[in-house]
Amino acid sequence: MSGPHAPGRSCQDRTVSTTGPLDPGPLDPGRHGSDRGRRLGVAAALVDGVVVPGDVVVDGTTIGAVGVAPPGRRDLAVPGFVDVQINGFDGVDFTRADPAAITGALVTLARHGVTACVPTLPTAEPAAYEPALRCLATVMDQPPLGAKVLGVHLEGPFLNPARRGAHPEEWLRDPDPALLARWAQLAPLAVLTLAPELDGAPALIAEALRLGIVVSLGHSEATAALAHAAFDAGASMVTHLWNAQPAVGSRQPGLAGAALARPDVRVGIIADLVHVAADTLLLSLAAAGPRAFVVSDALDVAGTAPGTRTRADGRPQHHDGIAVHLGDGTLAGSALPLDAALRNLVALGLDLPRAVDLVTAAPARALGRADVGRLRPGSPADVVVLDDSSTVASVLVDGRQIT
């Protein structure tokens, strides 16, 4: 099968039988850990970008050992996926759902390989933020039944109206550090997307950094000079590179060009092949290297049947199982989960270790988290087992079987 959603070659063809730089060499039991606990029955595991032949042992909530003989006959264990930008899933809008509904969506999300995520609140009416943050804080206080919540991503309301995309203009507002501090008391905030050219943006960046929030630039008309100033002030990420920002020109690199040129800025990219064309995606990955990571930017319709529905702001939107459009054609987000994005990356020619890194360790690095996105002895047992078509065969979160 060919095309952007076609399965790649088998794991055996791609990676499990390896030579050269991916060959981990003879099994060293001291390096790989002890053989106790529950075996996953896999042929190999992806450990820090290296395919290690042999089975994986789960010891309670952690990885007990990798490279254990004898190996299983098939399948590859990889780290659980990490989604830094996701607005909802399986019919559940994270801005408007109660804790029970959010928990149910996180279980379904985990079946697609996402073992950790940052629920994203887009621009909403002012009264929506506090209840949404309280609900997400309640979910975070509970043991995870599905994908773990690493904090909240505020994608708005401090955005440029000229690059608002699907964000309702009437709900956008100028940067307000005091408001951000109040919201941070309601739930742990992990990421803040803002437009650095807005009046008051430098003070907002400073407050976000004081609160331990990763600052991401997006929905912006910023010139390269303004972007560099914001990065120099501590912003370290770009939200959905290429979308809701000016195109790069030979003499006007803009936000995207500035971000790709800097070694200290990480860039999130949507890999549904609609928001960003395949060639642009490959160019971005080549330019950014390990600083790139993939996000779903999934809306609540992700995981549901294609169709048309009315948004909370009253506007109609349609999704085809890949991307979501408003009635006027504006891209509103994606309907493609990260496991499908992973298969897109493989179909475009990326080797499996690089493709997996883009949805696991790379987003974890962007968040400054060493406790997710990795599979090695002693790490949390957040594991995705992929079959020969890079399809999710089973998932564990903290050693607990999800599917």
Residue numbers annotated as active site: 297
CA dist., res. 164 & res. 51, Å (int): 42
Residue 61 tokens read as 């909530």
CA dist., res. 323 & res. 295, Å (int): 13
Q: How many CA atoms lie within 13 A of 166 on its CB side?
A: 27
> What H or E segment, with its residue span, contains residue 149?
strand 148-149
Which of 359, 154, 379, 381 lies closest to 271, judged by CA? 359
Which of 92, 169, 62 lies closest to 124, judged by CA? 169
Which of 89, 122, 83 lies closest to 106, judged by CA? 89
Coil, strand or helix: which one is 158?
coil
Peptide bond into 70 cis (omega under 30): yes
Residue 305 tokens read as 């049947």
Residue 284 tokens read as 């971005």
CA dist., res. 298 & res. 333, Å (int): 6
**Ramachandran category for residue 145: left, alpha or beta (phi over 0 → left; psi -120 to 50 → alpha):** alpha
Residue 123: Cβ-neighbour burial (10 angstroms; 0-12, 13-18, 19+): buried
What do you get for the CA distance between the two ends of the chain, in Å?
A: 26
CA dist., res. 71 & res. 67, Å (int): 8
